[in-house]
Structure 1
Amino acid sequence: MDRRRRLWLSAGLAVLLALVVVLAAVIAGIGRTSSGPSPSSASAGASVSHTPSPTKSPTKSPAPAAAAPAPPTIPELPATPMNILVIGSDSRASARDQNNQTVTTGQ
């Protein structure tokens, strides 16, 4: 019995350790993607030089896109508490009768 208990305890600890490792990897992945470009990728992009390619015929440049409208301004809310009253009914007492009538009459 004592050996079986140690086996279950070892298996439980192994599963817990695996979950901790997976959670740490997920957190590290989220932190890496939300922190923006890494310094190594920024320096690699800065060293690339772009040379214009010769064009055989003049082309028309596309019309400039319209500027996006400014976001609406939201007025400041008062610093006092606000009461909001929501009124409704959630009674389902006659829902079955209404459903039967709709099925039979189509209305």
Structure 2
Amino acid sequence: MKFRAILRYLRTRLIELNLFENSASRTDIHHLRTAIISTRVYLVLLITAVLILILTTALEQTTQTVTVQSPSENIFRKLYLKYSATLQCPCNQVETLYRTFTTISYKLHPHISIP
């Protein structure tokens, strides 16, 4: 029985809730209805804004930066296929010098002399 009385009391308080109460709303029924409707609109907008903020925060994606030092061509291709939109190459040298992977050695013919 007490539970129903509490529910009835809460329902009545919610229906009569007026956050914009002033002296005019206490005496004029039209002002009272307007203030109660304004309270309901305000609460609906407030709850909607809070829900939007909660959902935006909960669904926000975070970006994690991972640096792969000197990836092989195979690893780079796999990463490019998976993360092509966000993949960045912080290389400061795009090309490789020939001397890093080739050596040139020469032998002169014995009949050729160097001046």
Task: Give the structure, 1 or 2, with the largest relative contact order (CA under 8 Å, sep 6 or more).
Answer: 2
Looking at secondary structure, tell me which structure has more helix per residue: 2
Query: Shared fold (TM-score greater than 0.5)?
Result: no
- Larger radius of gyration, structure 1 or 2? 2
| Normalised TM-score (structure 1) | 0.32
